[in-house]
Structures are given as C-alpha cells and as structure tokens.
Amino acid sequence: MAYQENSAMAKSASFGYLSISLVAAAVALALALCGPRCLAQEMAQDQGPAPRLASDPHADTHIAEAIRQVSGDRIRQTIETLVSFHNRSTISSQDEASLKAGKGIGAAREWIKAEFERYSKECGGCLEVKTDTFTEQPAERIPKPTEITNVYAVLRGTDAQQANRIVLVTGHYDSRNSDTLNGTDPAPGANDDGSGTAVSLECARVLSKAVLNKVKFPATIIFLTVAGEEQGLNGSKHFAQMAKQQGWKLQAVLNNDIVGGDRSPQQDASVVRVFSEGLPAAANEAEIKRIRTLGGESDSTSRELARYIADVGRSYDAGVKPLLIFRLDRFLRGGDHYAFNQQGFAAVRFTEFREDFNHQHQTPRTENGIEYGDLSKFADFGYVAHVARLNAATLASLASAPPAPANVKMQTKDLDNDTTLTWEPSSGAAAYEVVWRSTKAPDWEYVQTVSSGTRATLKVSKDNVIFGVRAVDAAGHRSLPVVPEPER
C-alpha cells in the first residue's frame, strides 16, 4: 500500500482557496466599515504576511549532515551482536559464568554499556553512560525476584537554561521466543527488538559525533535501552516513573519496537508507522471533560509529537516516510511508549509497515516448510538505518528548538469570527508561528509567522479550526506546537 500523503495535501490545498476567499471577504467588509486607514492598522497589527502551507519543508544543514552518518553496516553489526547473546529474555541468566560466556541478558547489557562508553570516548566524554537497576518482584511473567537494568546515555544540553528539557529515544534489548518463561533456548530477537536497540545506539553514535563536529544541542538528549518489555513493560515503567518522580521535563519519547523492515513480499519499505494515543492515558475526569468540550480528541501531546515527526519526514531525506496511525498501538500488542504515556509524557511508537508474525515471538524452527524465528536474515538493515535517520533528525530538531511557548490562550470572551491568541515569551525564540487546520484534517494545514510580540489576531474563526502556537529560533528550528486553552 502506498503512502497516502498526497490526498491529504490535496484536501489542504482546497481548504486554502476557501480560506483565501474568506480573508478577501473579510478585507472587503473591513474596508466598507472602517475605511483604508483603519484597515491598514488592522492589517499591520493582525495579518502580517499571508499564511503559508504548513507542509512546506525546512531543513538544517547540520542536522542533514549528521543523519547522513547513520550506517546500515553499523546497524547490522549491532543487531548481529545482540543476536549472538543467544537468549536475551529478562529472566535469562545474568551470573558471572553467563557474562563470561557472552550469553543471556546480562552479557547484552554489558555490551550495550560498553558501546555507549566507546561512543563517549570518541566524542571526548560527551555522553554520561548510566544504568537504572531495580528488582522486580514475582508476577505473571516473572517467576522469581529479578534484577532488571535499563542502560542509557545522556547527551547534556549546551544551554544552561534549556538543558533541563529532555528528548528521548528508546528500544528494548530483551527478547523472547514462543514461551515467555523460557530463558535458555534461542530467542534471537533481531527485529523485536534488536532493531529498536540499534536505532537508539546509532542515534547516540551519530549525534555525539555531530557534537564533536561543533553542532550544539541546547536541550538534553537521552538514548535509552530498556529490559523487561516482554515480561510486562517493566523497564520502561520503572524509568518513566523515575522521570515523573524526579520532575523531568521530558518532552518527547520515541519508542522504536520492530523497525527491522521484515523482508516479506508485502512489506512497504518506503514507510514506517508512527502510533500515537488520542485521549491521553494520564488524563483525569476533568481533563477528559475539557477535551470533549474543545473537540481536542486528536490533540494529545503525543499526537502533536507524531505531527512533528511528519514535518521532519518532509524536511529531511531519511529514506523512509512516517505513516501516522492515530491509535495507541496495534491490536493484541503493547509497547514501552505506553509506560511513558501513563506518566503523562508525550510518547509514540515506530513500527515497520507490515509485521510477519512467524518472525517474532517464535522459537526458531521449520514446520511444514515455514521458517519461524526472529532471525537477522529476515531484517533489512538499510531500512533500520532509514528509521534511525528519521529518529535522529527528530531528536536533533527538538533538541535544537527553543522551548514551546507557555500559557497559550485563545480569547473566547466575546462572540467573534476572528481569533486572538496570546502566549508567554519563550527564551531563544526569534519568532512564533501560529499553525492551524480544519477540525477534520489530520495534520496542520497553514502557518502564519508572528515576527514580533506574543499575540496574534487571525481572520480565521476558532469555531472552525484547531490552532497551535510554536516557537522558532533564528536558524528556523521549531518547537512542538501548543494548542491554546480558551480564556474568558
């Protein structure tokens, strides 16, 4: 199935004619009512330049150069090394003998840690390599108290004011075979989720290398690999709770799980699915009520993140396009992004277009001529590299951007066909952009630059569209947009 962006763009173009004719009508009306001088004032105050299409690409050459460094060959080496640990089940052995033999999840953990440390050494110590270890008590898929370790590397932001903002990429390094309680027989996990672990590692390698080449990321980037996913999202739950308890300003989580591009004939290697929740898992009753009133069912922070990824996909040549799926996850499956959603963080899941269920969660074997097992030979390393490029470009764009504007409000105290938006200044912003779309459109359609001040009035009715406001720095990096709260 082909990527369906063209029809969405066609729709947005037709909406454009409608909007332009509305603006023309409004101008004619204003001229009749208040004369040319009044109109000129209003235009200067309110209109600014004409709105542009939100789908226009915009790229940063440093980021484009950084993502070109992503290597399919490095990704192949990472996935093949992960497979060589034989069984990376969270309940596989972690004792000294298995570490020495290079078997089990403990050996995988030590190798990942050593990889992060190697990248850090190559960039003059730019990464802080850390572990988050805890003991999980027995549960349905955990027969005895089990030590679980998340391994991560922190690329600290260069701007003291902004380094507390964090963007994060993750994959799970544990694996499973047909039996979730089997920690000994082969569980190669090349695609699920050697591929996602490889994306996290490769993003760490190329973005730390960019830092060595004097590229600056004002905000902090974390490259995470978690365990316990197959036993019940244990690692990501622990990590997300830690982030919540410690008050991290975690603004985006990119979870890559099954991005190996399984080589089945029906695969579409030109796209990667990006799943995002609609109603936030963390929303309380009052928030659900507010969302219902606003018609905000498709504007969770996770969905704004998904739209941001779509924008990155149009702006950079990653080799793969994001295909947004407006749903938390696939049927009968879950993933680590949900653990972050439950703590109120914006988090999305990347997964290949078409999964081959014979090649995941299966003990390797051949039955009736069908080969089962999550083996390296079914993965497309070039595809994983494309997904890594899209992730790295997203992380770099978010970490380069100024903070999103705070306290974004939409005036609703009078019945009015115009819309006035206000917000607080964002440090490092050179300008702001108001984006909007028809209530039935999936993605932002129009953007209007507000080059000075923190207020804008648009000749577009708030009753008919959904607005967002984002901050833009002098180099053109955009923050995530913030949907305004009505203010009376």
| By CB under 5 A, residue 193 contacts Zn ion | yes
Segment near Zn ion (CB under 5 A); pick from 85-93, 205-213, 251-259, 341-349? 251-259
| By CB under 5 A, residue 352 contacts Zn ion | no
Rounded alpha-carbon distances, angstroms, from residue 308 to 54, 201, 209, 334, 339:
11, 22, 24, 22, 21
Residues contacting Zn ion: total by CB under 5 A: 3
3-state secondary structure (DSSP) of residue 344: coil
Site string for Zn ion, 148-187 (x = CB under 5 A): ----------------------------------------
Burial of 269 (0-12, 13-18, 19+ CB in 10 A): middle
Q: Which is nearer to Zn ion, 180 or 298 (CB)?
A: 180
Question: What are 184's two structure tokens?
Answer: 């000994």
Segment near Zn ion (CB under 5 A); pick from 147-155, 255-263, 267-275, 455-463? 255-263
- The owner of tokens 């209530």 is 439
Q: Which is nearer to Zn ion, 189 or 468 (CB)?
A: 189
Cα-only R_g, the chain: 24
Minimum distance of Zn ion from residue 258's CB (angstroms): 6
| By CB under 5 A, residue 192 contacts Zn ion | yes
Q: Which is nearer to Zn ion, 255 or 400 (CB)?
A: 255
- The owner of tokens 């300008």 is 431
Site string for Zn ion, 208-247 (x = CB under 5 A): ----------------------------------------
For residue 255, the number of C-alpha atoms closer than 13 Å in the C-beta half-sphere is: 29
Q: Which is nearer to Zn ion, 16 or 334 (CB)?
A: 334
Q: Name 291's Cβ contacts closer than 8 Å, sequence gap at least 6.
A: 279, 283, 297, 299
Minimum distance of Zn ion from residue 413's CB (angstroms): 49
| By CB under 5 A, residue 433 contacts Zn ion | no
280 vs 150: CA distance, rounded Å: 25
**Alpha helix locations (H) across 70-125?**
72-84, 96-101, 105-122
Q: Which is nearer to Zn ion, 192 or 433 (CB)?
A: 192
Q: What DSSP letter does each residue of 204-243 carry, written as one string?
A: HHHHHHHHHTT---SSEEEEEEES-HHHHSHHHHHHHHHH
| By CB under 5 A, residue 257 contacts Zn ion | yes
Q: Which is nearer to Zn ion, 192 or 262 (CB)?
A: 192
Give, as ranges, the residues between 260 and 319 that touch Zn ion (CB under 5 A): none
- The owner of tokens 């009133």 is 293
Phi, psi of 462 (to 5 degrees): -65, -20
Segment near Zn ion (CB under 5 A); pick from 56-64, 252-260, 268-276, 436-444? 252-260
| By CB under 5 A, residue 443 contacts Zn ion | no
Segment near Zn ion (CB under 5 A); pick from 112-120, 132-140, 250-258, 310-318? 250-258
Q: Which is nearer to Zn ion, 193 or 355 (CB)?
A: 193
487 vs 475: CA distance, rounded Å: 32
Q: Which is nearer to Zn ion, 190 or 466 (CB)?
A: 190
Residues that bind Zn ion (CB under 5 A): 192-193, 257
